Chains A and B, each alone.
Chain A
Amino acid sequence: MPWATRGLREGIVTTPYPRYPDGYGRLFKGYVVCEERATGAEVAVAAATCPTGAIEVGAGGARLDRGRCVLCGRCCKVAPRWFHFEPGFETAALARPALVVPGREPDDVEVARAREQLRRRVKALRRSLYLRHVDAGSDGSEEWELAALTGPIYDVQRLGIFFTASPRHADVLLVTGVGTAGMLAPLRLTYDAMPSPKVVIAVGTDAVSGGLAGGTYASGKGVAGVVPVDVFVPGSPPSPFSILHGILLAVGLVRQPPAERAALRAAVEVMKKGGAAS
Chain B
Amino acid sequence: MRLDGCLNWHDPRGFAQAVVKRSKEGARFCGLFASPGAAGTRLLAVLSKAGRLLTEATWVPEGAGGFPALTPAVPSAAWYEREIRDLFGLEPFGHPRADPLVLPLRPGTPAPRPGSGKPAAPAELDPSPLPSHVQGEGVFTLPYGPVRSGVFESVEYLIETPGERIAHLRARVFYKHRGMEARFAGLSLADGALLAERYEGVASVAHAIAYCSALESAAGAQVPPAAELVRVLHAELERVANHLGSVLRHTEGAGQAVANARIAVHKERLQRLRADLSGSRFGRGAVVPGGVVGPPLQGGAAVLGALDRLEKGIREDLDLLMATPSFVDRLRGTGVVPPELARERAAVGPVGRGSGQGEDLRSTRPYAAYARLGRLDVQERSSGDALARQLVRADEIADAFHLCRQALDELEALGPQPAGGWSVDLGPVNGEALGWAEAPQGELLYLVSAEDGRLVRVKPRSASFHNLALFMAAFPTDIFTDFVFIEASFDLSIAGVAG
**A contacts, CB < 8 Å to B:** 2-4, 6-7, 10, 13, 24, 28-29, 51, 70-73, 133-148, 150-154, 163, 165-167, 177-178, 180-183, 185-187, 189-190, 206, 211-219, 236-237, 239-240
Whether A135 contacts B176 by the Cβ 8 Å rule is yes
Whether A217 contacts B153 by the Cβ 8 Å rule is no
Whether B262 contacts A138 by the Cβ 8 Å rule is no
Binds A, one of B4-12, B19-27, B199-207, B448-456: B199-207
Task: For the complex, count residues of B whose C-beta is within 8 A of A.
Answer: 63
- Distance between Cα atoms of A181 and B124 in the complex (Å): 8
Whether A216 contacts B259 by the Cβ 8 Å rule is no
- Distance between Cα atoms of A10 and B272 in the complex (Å): 18
Whether A217 contacts B112 by the Cβ 8 Å rule is yes
Whether B153 contacts A218 by the Cβ 8 Å rule is no
Whether A186 contacts B175 by the Cβ 8 Å rule is yes
Whether A213 contacts B195 by the Cβ 8 Å rule is yes
- Residue among A7, A29, A180 making CB contact with B275, cutoff 8 Å: A29
Q: A72-B285, A137-B176, A217-B121 are in contact. Are A143 and B151 (CB under 8 A)?
A: yes
Whether B495 contacts A239 by the Cβ 8 Å rule is no
Q: Report, nearest first, the 3 A-B pairs whose CB atoms are least far apart.
A: A141-B201, A139-B201, A151-B264
Whether A139 contacts B268 by the Cβ 8 Å rule is no
- Distance between Cα atoms of A192 and B89 in the complex (Å): 35
Does B308 interact with chain A (Cβ within 8 Å)? no
Whether B265 contacts A141 by the Cβ 8 Å rule is no
- Distance between Cα atoms of A177 and B153 in the complex (Å): 10
Q: A7-B258, A139-B495, A153-B264 are in contact. Are A216 and B201 (CB under 8 A)?
A: no
- Distance between Cα atoms of A142 and B495 in the complex (Å): 11
B 156-215 contacts with A by CB, 8 A: 174-180, 182-183, 190-191, 194-195, 198-202, 204
Nearest Cβ in chain A — how far from B122, in angstroms? 6
Binds A, one of B90-98, B276-284, B404-412: B276-284
Whether A213 contacts B180 by the Cβ 8 Å rule is yes
- Distance between Cα atoms of A183 and B494 in the complex (Å): 13
**CB<8 Å pairs between A and B, sample of 19:** A6-B262, A24-B272, A29-B279, A137-B177, A138-B153, A140-B493, A141-B204, A151-B265, A152-B265, A165-B149, A181-B122, A181-B177, A182-B125, A183-B146, A183-B154, A187-B147, A211-B198, A218-B179, A236-B284
Chain A residues within 8 Å of B358, by CB: none
Whether B268 contacts A151 by the Cβ 8 Å rule is yes
- Distance between Cα atoms of A218 and B202 in the complex (Å): 22
Chain A residues within 8 Å of B175, by CB: 137, 180, 182-183, 186
Q: Which residue of A lies closest to B281 (CB)?
A: A239
- Distance between Cα atoms of A215 and B182 in the complex (Å): 10
Whether B182 contacts A216 by the Cβ 8 Å rule is yes
Whether A3 contacts B324 by the Cβ 8 Å rule is yes
Q: A51-B191, A186-B175 are in contact. Are A237 and B201 (CB under 8 A)?
A: yes
Chain B residues within 8 Å of A217, by CB: 112, 119-123, 179, 182
Chain A residues within 8 Å of B151, by CB: 133, 143, 146-147, 163
- Distance between Cα atoms of A41 and B179 in the complex (Å): 35
Nearest Cβ in chain A — how far from B258, in angstroms? 4
Whether B258 contacts A181 by the Cβ 8 Å rule is no
Nearest Cβ in chain A — how far from B462, in angstroms? 10
- Distance between Cα atoms of A218 and B120 in the complex (Å): 9
Which of A140, A147, A190 is packed against the most chain B CB atoms within 10 Å? A140
Q: A3-B259, A185-B127, A219-B179 are in contact. Are A153 and B268 (CB under 8 A)?
A: yes
Does B103 interact with chain A (Cβ within 8 Å)? yes
B 98-131 contacts with A by CB, 8 A: 103, 112, 119-123, 125, 127
Nearest Cβ in chain B — how far from A7, in angstroms? 4
Whether A72 contacts B194 by the Cβ 8 Å rule is yes
Q: Which residue of B lies closest to A85 (CB)?
A: B279
Whether B149 contacts A137 by the Cβ 8 Å rule is no
Whether B146 contacts A218 by the Cβ 8 Å rule is no
Q: A151-B264, A217-B182 are in contact. Are A141 and B202 (CB under 8 A)?
A: yes
Chain B residues within 8 Å of A73, by CB: 279, 285
Does B480 interact with chain A (Cβ within 8 Å)? no
Q: Which residue of B lies closest to A240 (CB)?
A: B268
- Distance between Cα atoms of A178 and B498 in the complex (Å): 14
Chain A residues within 8 Å of B125, by CB: 181-182
Other than A141-B202, A180-B177, give 14 A-B pairs with Cβ distance below 8 A.
A10-B265, A72-B194, A137-B175, A140-B200, A140-B493, A144-B202, A146-B151, A150-B264, A151-B261, A165-B149, A182-B127, A183-B176, A206-B198, A218-B179
- Distance between Cα atoms of A217 and B103 in the complex (Å): 11
Chain B residues within 8 Å of A135, by CB: 152-154, 176
Chain A residues within 8 Å of B421, by CB: none
- Distance between Cα atoms of A87 and B146 in the complex (Å): 36
Q: Which residue of B lies closest to A185 (CB)?
A: B127
Q: Which residue of A lies closest to B316 (CB)?
A: A6
Does B333 interact with chain A (Cβ within 8 Å)? no
Chain A residues within 8 Å of B139, by CB: none
Does B150 interact with chain A (Cβ within 8 Å)? yes
B 320-368 contacts with A by CB, 8 A: 320, 324
Chain A residues within 8 Å of B149, by CB: 165-166
Q: Which residue of A lies closest to B104 (CB)?
A: A182
Does B296 interact with chain A (Cβ within 8 Å)? no
B 284-321 contacts with A by CB, 8 A: 284-285, 317, 320
Does B496 interact with chain A (Cβ within 8 Å)? yes
Chain B residues within 8 Å of A212, by CB: 183, 191, 194-195, 198
Whether B202 contacts A140 by the Cβ 8 Å rule is yes
- Distance between Cα atoms of A72 and B177 in the complex (Å): 24
Whether A186 contacts B112 by the Cβ 8 Å rule is no
Nearest Cβ in chain B — how far from A212, in angstroms? 5
